Structure formats: structure tokens, C-alpha cells
Amino acid sequence: MKGTTMKKFAMFGAACLLAIGASGCVTTGDLEEVRAMAEQAAQDAAAAQQSANAAERKATAAQSTASEANARATRAEEAANAAEQCCKANTERMNRMFEKSMQK
């Protein structure tokens, strides 16, 4: 994608040069100004691409962190449910033991 952006700006610069040349009043200064504008646009595009790439890396890292947090939360919920079932089973067992002892 980076190469494609650079090619587009190079083509833009060439089109500007052609347009200025077609007007018939082209000076070396005009050509240099257009070239400088095209180079600046290419540099700006490259900087924007770098920023987009950095943002994508950060978003990917954030997604990974969120996925890991979700997995940990699921495991914690499963552990809590298992502990609750164990507690209920122990309560029922103790109640049965108490009832048996009261019948004697």
C-alpha cells in the first residue's frame, strides 16, 4: 500500500508538471516548486502511513489484551460456579447429617 501511495503522488507531480508545461509559461522555478510540493506530499503520505501502521499495531495489541482478559474472566466465572456448587453440596450434606443426628 505504501508503494501505491508513493506512485500516486509521483503521478500527481508528473500531471502538475505536464499542466504547467502545457500552459507555455514554465520556468525552472515553477518546476522546482511543483517538484517540492510533490515531494512534500509524498513525505506527508509516508508519515501518515507510518502513523496508520502504528495505530493498527496498537489496536491489534489492545484486541489481544481484551481477548486474554475475556478468557480469564470466563475461567474465573467457571471457578466461581464450581465453588458455588461445591458449597451447595456441602450444605446439603451437612443438613442431612444434622437431620440424621436429630432423629436418633
Residue-wise pLDDT tens digits, 48-83: 999 999 999 999 999 999 999 999 999 999 999 999
What are the cell numbers at 71? 478468557
Strand extents, DSSP E, the chain: none
Q: Is the dihedral of CA 78, 83, 84, 89 positive or negative?
A: positive
Whole-model pTM: value is: 0.54
Which DSSP letter does residue 26 get? -
Pick the residue with more confidence: 21 or 87? 87
CB 34 within 8 A of CB 22: no
Q: Is 31 exposed, middle or buried (0-12, 13-18, 19+ CB in 10 A)?
A: middle
* Section 87-101 average pLDDT: 95
